[in-house]
Amino acid sequence: MTPALEISHLKKRFGGLPATRDVSLTVMPGERRLIIGPNGAGKTTLFNLVTGDLTPDEGSVKLFGREMLKLPTQQRVHLGLARTYQILTLFPKETLLHNVVLALLGLDRSRWNPWAYLAGQRRLYDAARAALVQVGLGEIAERVVGETSYGERRRLEMAMALAQKPKVLLLDEPLAGLSQEERKQVRDVLNAVPRDVTIVMIEHDMDSALAFAERITLLHYGEVIVEGTRAEVVADPRTKEVYLGE
């Protein structure tokens, strides 16, 4: 079977500082993969290399067997890649609904239409509303992002990514900064994502993340230290050494 995401020998240096050294990673379709590692291990850098925000020095990134390194970010998105950000990047003056509509427009031909009335596009708005309902924000769809809580914005990030019906979804710390109650809501959303979506997640909250992930990759100083099933990685002494701090 062709892997959903295949990263091989990826390298990236910032000046003299190697952020990613020779990372190889294979994620199969439908898999839930967790990437862990201490601060500065190069987790977000890895995501930025996959999405095209950064250009690697060497290596290859394949989405369902297709090399993506030469493609600009937006084309990778059209091939089925989506991500959420650790630091929220939303459109704060717009409504939640409009935020999701912008996400849907990104993959819709009508985004080049300079004549149609956007607010009259039922198809887009219905799909956007459905995505918001999916993450439990249906009630406040008309609210402006600036007037929502942090937890609601996190879920909006998820709604924007899920609305695009991606094949591979990259989640950068989706639980960061959330209360216990909000964590549960996000976990429920994640658990409900169908299996035709492959999920790669960076997360620090080990309790939630461990329960969710099937395979775990441990990054340290830009290298893959340990990789395996949940049980294998947790049991590995190197995990305890660099991450669990025991």
Partner 1 sequence: MTRRLVALVLVAAALLAVPLVITNEFYLNLASQILIYGLLAVSLNLLVGYGGMVSLGHASFIGLTSYTAVLLLNAGFDQLTTALVAVAFSTLCGALFGVLALRASGIGFLMITLALGQIVWGIAYRANNLTGGDNGIRFAARPQPFGVDISSAPHFYYFTLIVFAVALFFIWRLVRSPFGAALQGARDQPRRMRMLGHNVWLIQWLAFVLSAFWGSVAGLLYVYYNLFISPHAISLQQSAETLLMAILGGASTLTGPIVGAIIITLVKNVVSTYIDRWNSLLGAIFVIVIMFMPFGIVPGLRQLWVRWRRRAKTERAV
Please give the residue ranges that form the binding site for partner 1 (CB under 8 A): 51-53, 72-74, 77-78, 82-83, 85, 89-91, 93, 98, 101-103, 105-108, 110-119, 121, 160, 164
CB of 5 to partner 1, least distance (A): 16
- Closest to partner 1 by CB, 16 vs 114, is 114
Strands 5-14 and 168-172, sheet pairing: unpaired
> Do residues 227 and 62 make contact, with C-beta atoms less than 8 angstroms apart?
no
Beta carbon nearer to partner 1, 1 or 116: 116
Q: Which is nearer to partner 1, 74 or 149 (CB)?
A: 74
Q: Tell me the HSE value of 186 on the side-chain side, using a 13 A CA sphere.
A: 29
CB of 227 to partner 1, least distance (A): 26
CB 6 within 8 A of CB 59: no
> How many CA within 13 A on the CB side of residue 64?
12
Q: Which is nearer to partner 1, 9 or 66 (CB)?
A: 66
Q: How far is the CB of 85 from partner 1 (least distance, A)?
A: 8
C-alpha dihedral sign at 152, 145, 51, 173: negative
Closest separation in Å from C-beta 199 to partner 1 = 16
Task: Pick the closer one to partner 1 by CB: 68 or 233.
Answer: 68
> What's the token pair of residue 108?
């819709």
Q: Least distance in Å: CB of 86 to partner 1?
A: 13
User: Least distance in Å: CB of 21 to partner 1?
Assistant: 25
Total number of residues shown for the chain: 246
Return the number of the residue (114 or 245) whose C-beta is nearest partner 1. Answer: 114
Q: What is the three-class DSSP state of 192? A: coil
Which DSSP string do the residues of 135-185 spell out, in sequence order?
TT-GGGTTSBGGGS-HHHHHHHHHHHHHHT--SEEEEE-TTTT--HHHHHH
